[in-house]
Amino acid sequence: PEKITIKELGQKTNIEPVKLIKKLIDFGLMLNINADINFESAKRLLKEFGFEAEKEEEESKEKLVKKIKEESAGNLKPRPPVVTVMGHVDHGKTTLLDAIRETRVAAQEAGGITQHIGASQIEKDGKIIIFLDTPGHEAFTALRARGASVTDIVVLVVAADDGVMPQTIEAINHAKAAGVPIIVAVNKIDKPDANPEKVKQQLTEYGLIPEEWGGDTIFVNVSARNRIGIDQLLEMILLVADMQELKADYDSPAVGVIIEAKLDKGRGPVASVIVQKGTLKVGDIIVAGGTWGKVRAMFDSRGKIVKEATPSIPVEVIGFEEVPVAGDILKVVVDEKTAREMAEKEKELLKEKEDITSPKVSLEKLFDKI
């Protein structure tokens, strides 16, 4: 049977323990503040104070308090994690992303074609995970350099036959600088010369210590090519995401990040966006860097038309006047006049910068290098 101390009961009900003790004396019981009483006694005791101490009621009260707290914090609600895959060249980043998409997206939407919008939305155990399609630290850095940090979790791919290499270390440094937790995917474990233990050993030098050695870094052995360990990796991503308690306000005007943008012959400027805060809606007036527009239409990662985009969910946005730049922050503003003014101001600033800096390296070129 469940028990509770008089002290705890006092804390839970906001009744001074001394009053509870006095009442117990009335019942003929001499008990001190740390004494246990069972649920039935507690119920009887609380009745004297006008309480109906139903357990369920207690629980729902707690839930209510929690809910009120959340609402006062700006209606924060959970949002899915956004994951970037990083690692040394040829260690299997692209293959791993393909494996994840294949096992998850295809299974769900039999025969459905995934749209390329710069990020993939997959589902595992009813939970959504977003993967940025462009792996590599250049993309990550380019986005961050423009003030955008869209990544919640980095999956660090290390080939088990090759071990820690220069770009592995760079990736670790980038993730650390951004304060993003790392999950290590030790890849190519199908290879005869794979040595996952050596990878673990090597990574301890960089502060990534596996749990079994007293650290807190999660390691998952995978074979991206043979589709081994993919589910475990996804489970670990969800676990880390849970611990982060990722939340966002769904009700405010949307703020997001341009993750890709191009000029489409038929549709004009097309931008892939990940909303970070608020909800982006068709009809919203938007600004991103030196360009602005009105959201004419939006598509999700499966090419389906959508009316709104909530936090973390990647969408393709049609309606910009000009093509924005990856890494630009998208904002919803009140009217077209404001949008135009903001975009023009930004353009002028950019021009000034361009005049003093050397030829611009396009983000696309950087992406191609990976």
Binding region for GTP: 87-94, 133-137, 187-190
C-alpha span between 85 and 89 (Å, rounded): 12
Within residues 162-191, the interface with ligand GDP by CB under 6 A covers 187-188, 190-191
Query: Which residue number, 188 or 331, has a Cβ lying nearer to ligand GDP?
Result: 188
C-alpha span between 182 and 208 (Å, rounded): 8
The tally of CA atoms less than 13 A away on the side-chain side of residue 54 is 5
Part in contact with Mg ion (CB under 5 A); list of ranges 72-80, 85-93, 114-122, 292-300: 85-93
C-alpha span between 323 and 184 (Å, rounded): 36
Q: How far is the CB of 327 from ligand GDP (least distance, A)?
A: 21
Q: How far is the CB of 179 from Mg ion (least distance, A)?
A: 25
Q: Which of 42, 46, 76, 93 binds ligand GDP (CB under 6 A)?
A: 93
Q: Which of 18, 25, 68, 89 binds ligand GDP (CB under 6 A)?
A: 89
**Partner touching 7 among Mg ion, ligand GDP, none, CB below 5 to 8 Å by kind:** none
CB 79 within 8 A of CB 246: yes
C-alpha span between 157 and 238 (Å, rounded): 17
Q: How far is the CB of 369 from ligand GDP (least distance, A)?
A: 10
Using the CB atoms, write b or e for 250-271: b if 16+ within 10 Å: beebbbbbbbbbeeeeeeebbb
Part in contact with Mg ion (CB under 5 A); list of ranges 88-96, 116-124, 203-211, 342-350: 88-96
Per DSSP, what are the bridge partners of residue 294? 285
Q: Which of 5, 13, 41, 94 binds Mg ion (CB under 5 A)?
A: 94
Q: Which of 94, 195, 202, 310 binds ligand GDP (CB under 6 A)?
A: 94
Within residues 197-226, the interface with ligand GDP by CB under 6 A covers 223-225
Reference 103, options 219, 239, 224; nearest CA is 224
- 147 token code pair: 């003030």
**Partner touching 191 among Mg ion, ligand GDP, none, CB below 5 to 8 Å by kind:** ligand GDP
Q: How far is the CB of 130 from Mg ion (least distance, A)?
A: 19
First to last CA, the chain: 61
C-alpha span between 174 and 172 (Å, rounded): 5
Does 90 sit near Mg ion (CB under 5 A)? Answer: no
Q: Which residue has the tokens 């007293």?
A: 214
Query: Which residue number, 89 or 177, has a Cβ lying nearer to ligand GDP?
Result: 89
Q: How far is the CB of 150 from ligand GDP (least distance, A)?
A: 20
CB 150 within 8 A of CB 276: yes
Query: Which residue number, 42 or 224, has a Cβ lying nearer to ligand GDP?
Result: 224
Does 92 sit near ligand GDP (CB under 6 A)? Answer: yes
Helix (H) or strand (E) holding 235: helix 230-244
Helix (H, G, I), strand (E, B) or coil at 319: strand
Query: Which residue number, 91 or 200, has a Cβ lying nearer to ligand GDP?
Result: 91
Helix (H, G, I), strand (E, B) or coil at 76: strand
Reference 282, options 318, 330, 328, 313; nearest CA is 318
**Binding residue count for ligand GDP, defined by CB under 6 A:** 15
**Partner touching 89 among ligand GDP, Mg ion, none, CB below 5 to 8 Å by kind:** ligand GDP
Binding site for ligand GDP (CB under 6 A): 87, 89-95, 187-188, 190-191, 223-225
Binding site for Mg ion (CB under 5 A): 93-94
